[in-house]
């Protein structure tokens, strides 16, 4: 389980996270929703130690990630996979080299064994015969799939998703949602996704948390969130310009 | 008026911060250089990249510089009746000064700017963050091989520039200025010592370090999307070129002591 306690982060005196409290359950899909620029990416980057907070803590199995040095962090990071918003594939490498990269860096497997795993992971995300393509030649949806294959290459316990469907059409978004459900179900991996895509959230979430003005203002299951009467939450999930959230 | 002083203060603060960050990157790179595993494939790829990117411009600038040196030194030396010294003048200027400096500047413009662009793109598209999340240190993986490639390839390219420059000087001297080829070569061998070439190579070693370190620094800390990548490339070229010329003065003054 991951426990985020009173997490605070500012950039140049601009408060982004202002005391975030959130429990993330093992083996479940937690979706953090919130408007663009609310600090969702900042939050997820703290979970994997890319950013250090100004205050608060994040504990993973009772160990505080925020207090770790680079070496300890690297041991923890091997238990994580991450799919970036832009997929962050290495443009100088083929699809197969991208997916096999963590295996090549952290295991003693030979090329054949790595290729076998690469093909298996690619098949899981619905891609066949793309091994030798370059990232520049892939569509947005394919990039995300390859990014997901790379994120699960090491069979991580926890996978982080930064806006898995942003920039994709609704059909592609739906297929990514199915993919997330399928890949999560097999191994009971912990998935943490951040998004402002409400249909996606309702399809995949075991638990939803809303980030607003630097705090988690509401958590609950899909059912609970749909029944919530919190006006800020309602305005966001219904996508209305009028309401307590001011639009500039 | 207070705006002016604020501006100066900000500039100074910036310069100090950047200097500190560059030395920190150098320190980290040296530390990571000796942490196994060593992946030579990455290093060879970068060496090839620097060599291939810059070879053509180095050949071009080297040959024309040798040729123009022959014309200029002939024009000057003729006034003292010392036309026979054109050979050593061209060779000394190339080996001690123009070979390393021009190669440094050309490689900065070609390979250095390309390095800054590549790392800058990797930064703004989160590829550097991705390396961290996969427990791979980007300094070791990206910066170390580029710096070693710069340090190793600059002397190689400088030797090539020296050689082609001397050849260009010879061609103009013999075929245009009608200097006796035996005299040209004989005088060159009489006056130019191995030490002269060696001093030039020491310079090129430092220039290689400067240009690759500056390019990596600018690329690695790129901010602000595609526009930021362009800015990083420009900054790396300006900064590395200026630093190479400044370093050249100090290295020369130490060598000629
Ligand atoms: N490295 C950084 N330096 C300065 N400001 C940052 C940095 N990262 C994020 N921010 C700021 O933090 C805020 C939240 O950003 P982000 O987490 O990317 O939002 P989102 O919820 O859309 O993912 C934004 O205002 C952004 O400008
Ligand atoms: Mg974001």
How many helices (H) and strands (E) chain B has is answered by: 11, 0
Q: Model-level pTM? A: 0.91
Across B20-41, average pLDDT:
92
Residues of A in contact with B46 (CB under 8 A): none
A150 lines ligand 1 (CB under 6 A): no
pLDDT in tens, B173-197: 999 999 999 999 999 999 999 999 9
Q: Which of A84, A92, A105 sits opposite B136 (nearest CB)?
A: A105
- Ligand closest to CA A51: 1
Q: What DSSP state is assigned to residue B98?
A: I
How does residue B83 score in pLDDT terms, banded at 50, 70 and 90?
Answer: confident
Percentage above 90 pLDDT, chain B:
88
Q: What pLDDT is attached to residue A69?
A: 92
Residues of B in contact with A73 (CB under 8 A): 135
Q: What pLDDT is attached to residue B37?
A: 83
A13 lines ligand 1 (CB under 6 A): no
pLDDT in tens, B118-136: 999 999 999 999 999 999 9
How does residue B5 score in pLDDT terms, banded at 50, 70 and 90?
Answer: confident
- Ligand closest to CA A84: 2
pLDDT in tens, B136-173: 999 999 999 999 999 999 999 999 999 999 999 999 99
Q: How far apart are CA A224 and CA A170, in angstroms?
A: 25
Q: What DSSP state is assigned to residue B37?
A: P
Give the SS3 label for residue B119. Answer: helix
Q: What pLDDT is attached to residue A243?
A: 86
Q: How far apart are CA B64 and CA B94, in angstroms?
A: 11
Q: Which of B122, B127, B133 sits opposite A82 (nearest CB)?
A: B133
Of B246, B68, B131, B229, the C-alpha closest to A77 is B131
Give the count of beta carbons closer than 10 Å to the beta carbon of residue A57: 15
Of B126, B128, B131, B104, the C-alpha closest to B214 is B104
Interface test with A, best of B39, B128, B130, B139 (most A CBs within 10 A): B130
Residues of A in contact with B137 (CB under 8 A): 70, 74
Beta-carbon separation of B121 and A91 below 8 A = yes
Chain A residues touching chain B at CB-CB below 8 Å: 45, 48-50, 70, 73-75, 77-78, 80-82, 84-86, 88-92, 101-102, 105-106
Beta-carbon separation of B125 and A50 below 8 A = no
Burial (CB count <10 Å: 0-12, 13-18, 19+), residue B72: middle
pLDDT in tens, A135-194: 999 999 999 999 999 999 999 999 999 999 988 899 989 999 999 999 998 778 999 999
Of A116, A113, A111, A124, the C-alpha closest to A151 is A124
Locate A163 and state its tokens.
């806006």
Q: How far apart are CA A138 and CA A172, in angstroms?
A: 14
Q: In what order do the strands lie in the sheet with A63-64?
A: A14-24, A2-11, A55-60, A63-64
CA of A42 to the centre of ligand 1 (A): 6
How many helices (H) and strands (E) chain A has is answered by: 9, 10
Question: Which stretches of chain A score pLDDT less than 50?
Answer: none
Beta-carbon separation of A77 and B134 below 8 A = yes
H or E stretch including A240? none
Average pLDDT, chain B: 94
Read off φ and ψ for residue A73, nearest 5 degrees: -60, -40
Q: Do strands A55-60 and A190-195 pair parallel, antiparallel, or not at all (unpaired)?
A: unpaired
Pocket test for ligand 1, best of A10, A14, A18, A37 (most atoms within 8 A of CB): A37
Residues of B in contact with A75 (CB under 8 A): 135
Beta-carbon separation of B126 and A84 below 8 A = yes
How does residue B1 score in pLDDT terms, banded at 50, 70 and 90?
Answer: low
Tell me how many residue pairs between chain A and chain B have CB atoms under 8 A apart: 50
pLDDT in tens, B219-257: 999 999 999 999 999 999 999 999 999 999 999 999 988
CA of B222 to the centre of ligand 1 (A): 15
ipTM above 0.90, yes or no: yes
- B226–chain A nearest CA distance, Å: 14
Residues of A in contact with B134 (CB under 8 A): 77, 101-102, 105-106
CA of A22 to the centre of ligand 1 (A): 19
């Amino acid at each position: 389980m991951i426990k985020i306690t009173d997490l605070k982060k500012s950039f140049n005196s601009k408060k982004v996270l202002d005391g975030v409290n959130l429990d993330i359950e093992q083996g479940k899909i937690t979706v953090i929703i919130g408007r663009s620029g609310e600090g969702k990416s900042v939050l997820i980057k703290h979970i994997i130690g890319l950013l250090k907070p100004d205050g608060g803590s994040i504990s993973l199995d009772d160990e505080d990630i925020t207090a770790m040095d680079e070496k300890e962090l690297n041991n923890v990071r091997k238990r994580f996979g991450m799919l970036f918003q832009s997929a962050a594939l290495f443009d100088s490498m083929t699809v197969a080299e991208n997916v096999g990269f963590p295996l090549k860096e952290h295991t003693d497997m030979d090329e054949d064994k790595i290729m076998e795993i690469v093909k298996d992971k690619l098949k899981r995300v619905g891609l066949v015969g793309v091994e030798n393509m370059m990232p520049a030649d892939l569509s947005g949806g394919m990039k995300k799939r390859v990014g997901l294959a790379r994120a699960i290459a090491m069979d991580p316990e926890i996978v982080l998703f930064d806006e898995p469907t942003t920039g994709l059409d609704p059909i592609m978004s739906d297929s990514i949602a199915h993919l997330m459900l399928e890949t999560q179900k097999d191994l009971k991996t912990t998935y943490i996704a951040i998004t402002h895509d409400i249909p996606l959230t309702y399809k995949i979430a075991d638990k939803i948390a809303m980030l607003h003005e630097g705090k988690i203002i509401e958590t609950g299951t899909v059912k609970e969130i749909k029944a919530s009467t919190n006006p800020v939450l309602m305005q966001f999930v219904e996508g209305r310009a009028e309401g307590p959230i001011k639009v500039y | 008026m207070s705006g002016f002083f604020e501006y100066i203060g900000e500039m100074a603060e910036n310069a100090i911060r950047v200097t500190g960050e560059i030395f920190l990157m150098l320190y980290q790179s040296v530390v990571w250089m000796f942490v196994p595993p060593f992946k030579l494939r990455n290093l060879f790829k970068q060496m090839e990249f620097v060599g291939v990117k810059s070879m053509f411009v180095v050949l071009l600038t080297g040959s024309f510089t040798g040729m123009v040196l022959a014309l200029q030194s002939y024009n000057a030396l003729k006034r003292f009746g010392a036309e026979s010294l054109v050979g050593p003048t061209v060779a000394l200027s190339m080996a001690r000064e123009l070979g390393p400096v021009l190669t440094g500047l050309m490689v900065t413009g070609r390979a250095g700017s390309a390095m800054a662009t590549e790392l800058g793109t990797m930064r703004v598209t989160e590829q550097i963050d991705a390396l961290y999340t996969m427990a791979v240190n980007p300094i070791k993986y990206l910066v170390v091989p580029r710096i070693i490639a710069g340090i190793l390839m600059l002397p190689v390219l400088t030797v090539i520039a020296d050689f082609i420059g001397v050849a260009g000087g010879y061609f103009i001297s013999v075929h245009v200025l009608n200097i006796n080829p035996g005299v040209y070569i004989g005088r060159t061998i009489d006056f130019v010592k191995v030490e002269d070439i060696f001093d030039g190579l020491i310079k090129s070693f430092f220039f290689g370090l400067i240009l690759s370190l500056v390019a990596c620094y600018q690329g690695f800390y790129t901010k602000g999307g595609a526009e930021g990548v362009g800015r990083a490339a420009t900054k790396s070229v300006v900064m590395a070129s200026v630093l190479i010329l400044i370093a050249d003065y100090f290295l020369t003054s130490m060598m000629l002591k």
